[in-house]
Amino acid sequence: MPEVAAPSSADQLRTVPLTDVLELDRIDRGLFRSVHLFEVDRALYGGQVMAQALLACGATVEPDRLPHSLHGYFLRRGNGARPVLFRVDNDRDGRSYSARRVVALQEGEVIFNMSASFRTVADGEERTVSEVSPRLRPEQCPAITPDPELALRVRVQDWSSPDEFFPTRFWVRPNGELPQDDPLGHAAAIAYMSDFSAGLQRTVGSEVLGPSLDHALWFHRTPRWDDWLFVDLGRGVSAGRRGWYSGTVVDNGEIVASLTQEMAYTDRPSRREAPDGR
């Protein structure tokens, strides 16, 4: 998770567009390398490596196959000042579905692995089991200042409680515009954002919320992120020094994606600092 400062009165615009942060170089068949590096050693944001892993996988499937799910594990803390190498394995290409596995490596060690599934666009009956309706519009919600290097703009509707750390219902949009005709890029941008907050209590007894363990994301509709999206993170379960929660990503009243994440609780003392997501 990135650091989050106290709410501010105005959005803090970032200087680096999200598309630049997620850029990859293809260096061989099934092999990619990150381009954007930080000037100093710092923890690599988990959403970034997950989004780039999805882009790497998507670059190996036919253009008419879009991501519908991903399941990833955070294994080691990454360094944002060093490039990440992504190695993609092709598990299967069927008539409608393609399956890929990817590992992200730094200095010869795996820091993240992920399975992703893609399918051709299919028309079908649509039903929404539950509806998520924000009470306030983005302009009515206070802006917060995430980590200055995080390419997101965030406005918070609800915190889980006055003394809790993470926003649970918030509006979010990327820094800069996403390409209009790039659904894979839009899906990767949503994956980048999906690791931003947590639907868990920051402290449970003497334990404090720590690193992310694993993350899953499902795309229910063709991903589009042209304006503000609303994120609703529900409370989950805390047990066995782990916490699990789920959430939805909403666009104009429609749930476009769902997510779940599991995080570790540690004995570190509670501080007004966010865990690094590793």
Give the model's pLDDT for residue 160. Answer: 75
Give the model's pLDDT for residue 5. Answer: 45
> Region 44-67: what's the mean pLDDT?
97
- For 29-43, 44-58, 150-164, 209-223, which range has the lowest pLDDT when averaged over its residues? 150-164
Give the model's pLDDT for residue 247. Answer: 95
Give pLDDT tens digits for 91-129: 999 999 999 999 999 999 999 999 999 999 876 666 665
Give the model's pLDDT for residue 197. Answer: 92
* pLDDT reading at 152 higher than 50: yes
For residue 249, what pLDDT band results from cuts at 50, 70 and 90?
very high
Q: Which residues does 73 contact at the CB level (< 8 Å), separation at least 6?
A: 112, 113, 114, 213, 214
Characterise 134 by phi-psi region: left (phi > 0), alpha (psi -120 to 50), beta (else): beta
* pLDDT reading at 4 higher than 60: no
> Region 144-155: what's the mean pLDDT?
84
Fold of 6-120+134-266: Porin (2.40.160)
CB 246 within 8 A of CB 200: no
N-term to C-term CA, the chain: 8
* pLDDT reading at 9 higher than 50: no
Give the model's pLDDT for residue 127. Answer: 65
For residue 61, what pLDDT band results from cuts at 50, 70 and 90?
very high
CB 104 within 8 A of CB 47: no
Give the model's pLDDT for residue 131. Answer: 65
Taking the C-alpha atoms of residue 206 and residue 270, their distance in angstroms, rounded to an integer, is 8
Residue 188 to residues 47, 89, 139, Cα–Cα distance (Å): 9, 18, 25
Give the model's pLDDT for residue 276. Answer: 42
Give the model's pLDDT for residue 15. Answer: 67
Percentage, residues of the chain above pLDDT 70: 86
Give the model's pLDDT for residue 37. Answer: 92
Where exactly are the structural domains of the chain?
A: 6-120+134-266
Give the model's pLDDT for residue 117. Answer: 98
Give the model's pLDDT for residue 7. Answer: 42
Taking the C-alpha atoms of residue 258 and residue 28, their distance in angstroms, rounded to an integer, is 33
For residue 268, what pLDDT band results from cuts at 50, 70 and 90?
low
Helix pair 183-194, 46-58: axis angle to 10 deg: 160
CB 257 within 8 A of CB 217: yes
